[in-house]
């Protein structure tokens, strides 16, 4: 036995459980027929034609724009806090990072569920509002609630990569810039921001991908009104049983993510560098 042959069981596993399933999805996307009977399949582009009609395009537009807005909000909220944490003394810094990690370890569904208690019709926020003497608000089962759920769930994914880049940054560079007469704004724009770019890019991909493909947050906090592309895929595979159309949508979703990653990596000049990996 040679040591480098130890990988073969996994190569077979990769072929069966990763390569073949994706090829199957691709195959389903370009065919129509009875999903449960391979014999009835025939090549067709109908699934894609069906998707590119106003009803489905609206859903795609909504998914992408909600994901983009939540990514921007996460960046806006996350960058300052990542910066603040990175400038703390090591002891306090470790505690603060731990405080960010703890909610991330809690079950994703419980974190989303927690907002039901706060936002619901008889929830706490409405209880306070009515106590003050106002009419209760419709806080839940709309797009804002979905957006809130996304920001809440994915904020740590933005903060941690940016934080890890900022702590590794050589702070003497900032001092040098200040010594050479740069004001705070210039120092930030010309020194700190470019140096933290790899972390920002990791953060953006780590927020955008789960946000654009989620169906959990939209079905718990968005009710029936908020359908995203994730919900459409779920319906096709679990209820409507039109796997061909579901596969076509999965392919479209993948293409969108590939585009997003290509766009972000364009800004990332130092690929393979000391990027802001989460692990």
Query: Segment 96-135, which members bind other proteins (CB under 8 A)?
Result: 96, 98-103, 105-118, 120, 122-124, 126-127
> In terms of CB distance, is 54 or 183 closer to other proteins?
183
Q: How far is the CB of 209 from other proteins (least distance, A)?
A: 6
Q: How far apart are CA 71 and CA 98, in angstroms?
A: 22
Sorted by sequence, the CB contacts under 8 Å of residue 180 that are 6+ apart come out as none
Q: Collapsing DSSP states into helix, strand and coil, what is residue 150?
A: helix
Among 2, 89, 266, 271, binds other proteins (CB under 8 A): 2
| Footprint on residues 16-55 left by other proteins (CB under 8 A) | 16-22, 24-25, 28, 36, 38
Q: Does 188 bind other proteins (CB under 8 A)?
A: no
Q: How far apart are CA 206 and CA 185, in angstroms?
A: 28
Q: How far is the CB of 237 from other proteins (least distance, A)?
A: 5
Q: How far apart are CA 153 and CA 141, in angstroms?
A: 17
- Which DSSP letter does residue 278 get? -
DSSP per residue, 58-96: HHHHHHHHHHHHHHHHHHHHHHHHHHHHHTS-HHHHHHH
Stretch that binds other proteins, among 44-52, 168-176, 210-218, 262-270 (CB under 8 A): 210-218
Q: How far is the CB of 49 from other proteins (least distance, A)?
A: 20
Q: Collapsing DSSP states into helix, strand and coil, what is residue 126?
A: helix
> In terms of CB distance, is 54 or 105 closer to other proteins?
105
Q: How far is the CB of 132 from other proteins (least distance, A)?
A: 14
Q: Within 10 A of 108 (CB to CB), how many other CB atoms are there? A: 13
Q: How far is the CB of 254 from other proteins (least distance, A)?
A: 6
Q: Does 254 bind other proteins (CB under 8 A)?
A: yes
Q: Does 161 bind other proteins (CB under 8 A)?
A: no
Of 145, 154, 142, 143, the C-alpha closest to 118 is: 145
Residues near other proteins (CB under 8 A), total: 81
Measured CA to CA in angstroms, residue 186 lies from 81, 162, 221 at distances of 20, 20, 41
Stretch that binds other proteins, among 49-57, 164-172, 236-244, 264-272 (CB under 8 A): 236-244
> In terms of CB distance, is 165 or 209 closer to other proteins?
209
Q: How far is the CB of 169 from other proteins (least distance, A)?
A: 18
């Amino acid at each position: 036995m040679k040591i480098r042959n130890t990988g073969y069981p996994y190569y077979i596993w990769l072929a069966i459980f990763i390569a073949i399933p994706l090829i199957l999805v691709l195959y389903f996307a370009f065919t129509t027929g009875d999903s449960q009977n391979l014999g009835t399949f025939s090549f067709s582009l109908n699934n894609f034609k069906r998707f590119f009609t106003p009803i489905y395009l609206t859903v795609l537009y909504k998914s992408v724009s909600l994901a983009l807005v939540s990514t921007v909000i996460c960046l806006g909220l996350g960058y300052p806090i990542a910066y603040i944490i990175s400038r703390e003394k090591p002891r306090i810094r470790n505690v603060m990072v731990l405080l960010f990690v703890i909610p991330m370890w809690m079950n994703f569904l419980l974190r989303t569920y927690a907002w039901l208690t706060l936002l619901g019709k008889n929830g706490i926020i409405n209880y306070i509002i009515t106590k003050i003497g106002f009419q209760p608000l419709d806080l839940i089962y709309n797009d804002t609630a979905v957006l809130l759920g996304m920001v809440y769930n994915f904020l740590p994914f933005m903060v941690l990569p940016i934080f890890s880049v900022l702590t590794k940054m050589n702070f003497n560079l900032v001092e040098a810039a200040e010594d050479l007469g740069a004001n705070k704004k210039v120092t930030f724009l010309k020194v700190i921001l470019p140096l933290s770019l790899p972390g920002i890019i990791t953060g953006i991909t780590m927020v955008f991908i789960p946000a654009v493909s989620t169906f959990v947050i939209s079905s718990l906090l968005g009710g029936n009104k908020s359908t995203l592309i994730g919900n459409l895929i779920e319906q096709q595979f679990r209820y409507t049983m039109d796997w061909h159309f579901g596969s076509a949508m999965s392919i479209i979703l993948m293409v969108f993510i590939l585009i997003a990653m290509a766009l972000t990596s364009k800004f990332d000049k130092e690929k393979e560098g000391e990027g802001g990996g989460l692990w």
